[in-house]
Amino acid sequence: MKASSRRIDMTQGPIIRQALLFALPIVAGSILQQLYGTVDTLVVGNYCGSASLAAVGTGSQPIEMFLCLFMGLGTGVSILVSQYTGSGDTAHLQRVVRGAITFLYLCAVPLTVLGFFFGPLLLRLMQVQPEAWEQAVSYVRILFLGTLGNLGYNVNAGILRGLGDSRATLRFLIISCCVNIVLDVLFVAAFHMDAAGVALATSIAMFASWFCSIRYIQRRYPELGCTLLPRGADRDVLKEIIRIGLPLGLNQSIYSVGHFVLQALVNGQGVVFAAACTVGGKINGMANVAIQALASSASAFSGQNLGAKRYDRLVRGGWRIPLFTGALTLSAGLLFTMLCEPLLRLFNDDPEVLALAARYVRVVLPSCWMYSVFNCIISFVNGMGLLKYSTAVNILVLWVVRIPAALAISLLWDGSWVMLCYPASFATGMIAMLLFFLSRRWKETLALARAMEG
């Protein structure tokens, strides 16, 4: 396959080194995503007000809720591509890419229409404050118009990460970030479009990333047959994509609906508290920028090594990558917790908002290392194609621990401490995923690894 020097072969070399080489471009891309998300918050926070800031923070939840089911498509495609890359099956790679493009349009076009018309209904259910209502509706509707670009980029990023070419996605995010920042300033600061301007800038930026990713794949990997428009797909491939992508999307949906419920609880505490959680969430995102990148690395690692039948590496990576990720996240979390007050002042100067945001950071951030271990093991297990266990754990974490804990805190104590539900759920999830290493499937993998070493 062309451009092999750009690809990282996870079946060879030191495990942590290869995982880091794969993850670093994704980390840089995540920083860029955090940057333009941060720019959104900075621009709105400085040129608008608390109501607009709450609208942007709240309006993102319906988008996530609608799109997350289909975001599993990109992750599912990435897993399939990594497995067929490991086994060297180029013919099947072509079929997967063609099927992914067809499935993209089947999902994105109806979703755009549904989201535009039903997004405001979800905002109503989330108890959006009256002063933030109009801004939140505009924000949601404009973002839904960018659904095709959003999902399209997600699918192409999954293809490239499955190939081991994580550096390419960084280029597209640089383009997206530059477009978004320029348009943010233009639409909000110059044209005074408020939250609608932020949404329009984001949608245009996502389409720019998608178009660039199509062109890159066409030039670097012409044998994959990537196109802008669908060219049909055989049923077997679509079934395969759905078999893996749908459970992953359901996992994300489980979390999204949970975030929806939590956001409703947050909004019930008023605009100031909602704005504080939005700002505090930005600091948490900055500190935890490496979590998802290393989780993607774990997924690609397990997929490629499973495809290549490198069970010995699979076993070693199964504990080394999560352990490294947890240690890194703990270090970053403690550092950002200590620096949270000066960082929070960059986003808002309201003393009440800053006090509540600092509380949010100090409660949630020091425990995120447990979430990083949990998330890394889930991604590793998903890369092996074992989706039932991770789905059950996600349900446990969200609907047995996090949501009941949040409700109990809000109803029986003080709703401004609702963020305490996060550390409890992180610990539960980590313990549950560590138990995977006692499962029958993992014992079978251990036996295959011992046979190789023997």
Residue 3 counted as domain residue: no
**Cα distances (angstroms) measured from residue 252 to each of 13, 37, 227, 249:** 32, 20, 27, 5
Residue 1 counted as domain residue: no
Residue 66 counted as domain residue: yes
> Does residue 368 contact residue 288 with C-beta atoms inside 8 Å?
yes
Return the structure tokens found at 39. 């720019």
**Cα distances (angstroms) measured from residue 39 to each of 29, 149, 358, 451:** 15, 20, 20, 53
Report d(CA 442, CA 450) in Å as an integer: 12
In the block, tokens 């293809």 appear at: 159
Per-residue pLDDT of 223-244, as tens digits, reads 888 888 888 767 888 888 888 8
Residue 5 counted as domain residue: no
Per-residue pLDDT of 337-388, as tens digits, reads 888 888 888 777 778 888 888 888 899 999 999 999 999 999 999 888 887 8
In the block, tokens 């690395």 appear at: 297
Q: Is residue 48 helix, strand or coil?
A: coil
Report d(CA 83, CA 94) in Å as an integer: 13
> Does residue 308 contact residue 86 with C-beta atoms inside 8 Å?
yes
Instruction: Supply the range of the domain harboring residue 122.
Output: 14-453
**Cα distances (angstroms) measured from residue 238 to each of 137, 207, 320:** 34, 24, 34
Residue 106 counted as domain residue: yes
Report d(CA 8, CA 360) in Å as an integer: 38
pLDDT of residue 78: 81
406 or 259: which carries more pLDDT confidence?
406
> Does residue 221 contact residue 6 with C-beta atoms inside 8 Å?
no
pLDDT of residue 100: 87
88 or 229: which carries more pLDDT confidence?
229
The total domain count for the chain is 1
Residue 249 counted as domain residue: yes
Per-residue pLDDT of 134-185, as tens digits, reads 888 888 889 889 889 988 998 898 888 888 887 888 888 888 888 888 898 8
> Does residue 284 contact residue 368 with C-beta atoms inside 8 Å?
yes
Percentage above 90 pLDDT, the chain: 18
- pTM equals 0.72
Q: Mutual orientation of helices 50-87 and 271-287 as an angle, nearest 10°?
A: 30
CA atoms within 13 A on the CB side of 335: 9
Residue 6 counted as domain residue: no
CA neighbor of 428 nearest in space, from 372, 371, 380, 387: 371
Residue 7 counted as domain residue: no
